[in-house]
Amino acid sequence: MTYIKSKKIKIAIIGGGISGLSAAYFLSKKYDISLYESKNYLGGHAITLKKTLLDHNNKPKVFYFDIGFLVYNEKNYPNFKKLLKELNVKTEKSSMSFSVSTKELNYEYGSTGMLSITNNLKNIFYKKFWVMIFDIVKFYKLSKKFLNNKKIKDLTLEIYLKKNNFSQIFINTHIIPMCGAIWSTSFKEVLNMPTRYILKFLDNHGLLNIYKRPQWLTISNGSIHYVNSIEKKIEGNIFKNEKVINVERKNKKILVHSKSFSKKYDKIIFAIHSDDILNLLQKATDDEREVFSKYKYEENNITIHQDQSLMPNNKNVWSSWNVLNESKKFDNKNKITVTYWINKLQNLYTKEPILVTLNPPYRNLIDKKKIISKFILRHPLLERKHLVLLNKVKNLQGKNMTYYTGAWMGYGFHEDGLKASIDLVNLINLEKND
């Protein structure tokens, strides 16, 4: 794209995911913005693949499907809902359900069917299954009490579960896999997460009730459609395939050095992962170092394929999200293995299922001929120190002409990135910009 010259305040934004895209979209109405993205496409974790596959009538057809950002709901994503309406993007109902298979225990259940029972009748005779159901109901009740009593000090999920004597079958085959799947994180990290934070999220999303769960939605023909729409509406410079290498702050100006050129700006916005900021920021202050050195991310290996071997054995149990454990015990250190059944999530009718597996246990297990693609995506680890760090980030906003946004400023989801950018835009608009 050609560079547009202007006398307006010049703002550089690094990162073309929902956070950077939305910041660019709102700010470009008033300022001279430049958006830098290291990849040759925008969207960050909103990635859509286009592939010709056999449809349910055995005929070749082009399908669009997502492998990162997949679903949202209108209750918990009010800003995203508004943005999609403004962009005139079509959406459709998605279906959310969850299954767990523990191969060596020969135990699997899915969340659909009456109280998860009717999808695998074998479980009726399995005592541990009933212990799990009992503990699910107990968890809902206790968690609501915990949330309503602000005086109870926050603690890690591991301690909360121990203190309340939850059974191992509930811990290993329900709550840890569920949270691990939601936050794409390992079992060990789930146990380290702050309980209040988890429960607030589960409660907001209706996951502490058996009924009254929100209707999940997905973008028709993939999230690429909203990414393309927002890109068209950004009135500024978009530099794709232009990785920022270094950010210098000198004489009240910002100098951005990227892969192929350097440019001067008045302000800089980091819309990248929080643990990457110090790698780019030259001469970071002590406060910046203190905050951004503490963030941690976890890598997820993502394989997109059509091999059913990582799905539950019993087809009635197949759900939108399917957690698989190969061993008898959930190994704390293991990364979560979860397979998204894309057909169910995005209403696609193909001959062979479209599956997206995070962290396949033995990658060789997936039939090579059935692999469509592979990616690595990083997800923030939400630890107890997270809330303290966020307050510190708020104090850093605007200091040294430097600003921050990202899904990491909330629960790590699309609405969080968008909300962080809206707050940032409001802050910049309130500043005396002369």
Ligand X SMILES: Cc1cc2nc3c(=O)[nH]c(=O)nc-3n(C[C@H](O)[C@H](O)[C@H](O)COP(=O)(O)OP(=O)(O)OC[C@H]3O[C@@H](n4cnc5c(N)ncnc54)[C@H](O)[C@@H]3O)c2cc1C
- For ligand X, the binding residues (CB under 6 A) are 14-20, 36-39, 44-46, 68-72, 184, 243-244, 271-272, 276, 280, 300, 358, 377, 379, 406-407, 412-414, 417
Give 80 or 107: the residue with its C-beta nearer to ligand X.
80
Cα separation, 427 vs 434, whole angstroms: 15
Q: How far is the CB of 429 from ligand X (least distance, A)?
A: 21
| 218 within 8 A of 94, measured Cβ to Cβ | yes
Give 10 or 45: the residue with its C-beta nearer to ligand X.
45
Q: How far is the CB of 298 from ligand X (least distance, A)?
A: 9
Cα separation, 340 vs 311, whole angstroms: 9
Of 92, 97, 101, residue with least CA distance to 321: 97
Q: How far is the CB of 78 from ligand X (least distance, A)?
A: 13
Write the DSSP symbol of residue 359: S
Token representation of residue 287: 């406060």
Cα separation, 11 vs 9, whole angstroms: 6
Give 129 or 360: the residue with its C-beta nearer to ligand X.
360
Of 404, 342, 411, residue with least CA distance to 379: 411
Give 272 or 428: the residue with its C-beta nearer to ligand X.
272
Coil, strand or helix: which one is 425? Answer: helix
Q: How far is the CB of 48 from ligand X (least distance, A)?
A: 13
Residue 434: how many CB atoms within 10 A of its CB?
4
Give 312 or 412: the residue with its C-beta nearer to ligand X.
412
Q: How far is the CB of 38 from ligand X (least distance, A)?
A: 4
Cα separation, 413 vs 19, whole angstroms: 10
Cα separation, 402 vs 253, whole angstroms: 10
- Nearest position to ligand X, beta carbon: 44
Give 44 or 177: the residue with its C-beta nearer to ligand X.
44
Task: Identify how many contiguous H helices and E strands the chain contains and give both numbers.
Answer: 14, 20
Residue 233: how many CB atoms within 10 A of its CB?
13
Q: How far is the CB of 179 from ligand X (least distance, A)?
A: 14
Q: How far is the CB of 345 from ligand X (least distance, A)?
A: 8
Token representation of residue 138: 């107990």
Cβ contacts of 410-413, under 8 Å, gap ≥ 24: 411/197, 411/201, 411/382, 412/183, 412/379, 412/380, 412/382, 413/72, 413/77
Cα separation, 288 vs 278, whole angstroms: 8
Q: How far is the CB of 14 from ligand X (least distance, A)?
A: 5
Give 195 or 320: the residue with its C-beta nearer to ligand X.
320
Q: How far is the CB of 59 from ligand X (least distance, A)?
A: 29
Give 34 or 184: the residue with its C-beta nearer to ligand X.
184
Q: Beta partners for 340?
A: 321, 356
Q: How far is the CB of 256 from ligand X (least distance, A)?
A: 9
Residue with tokens 């704390």: 332
Give 199 or 281: the residue with its C-beta nearer to ligand X.
281
Q: How far is the CB of 431 from ligand X (least distance, A)?
A: 23
Give 27 or 136: the residue with its C-beta nearer to ligand X.
27
Residues 6+ apart with CB under 8 A from 10: 31, 32, 33, 34, 264, 265, 266, 267
Coil, strand or helix: which one is 114? Answer: helix
- Supply the Cα-derived Rg of the chain in whole angstroms: 23
Give 221 or 300: the residue with its C-beta nearer to ligand X.
300
| 433 within 8 A of 403, measured Cβ to Cβ | no
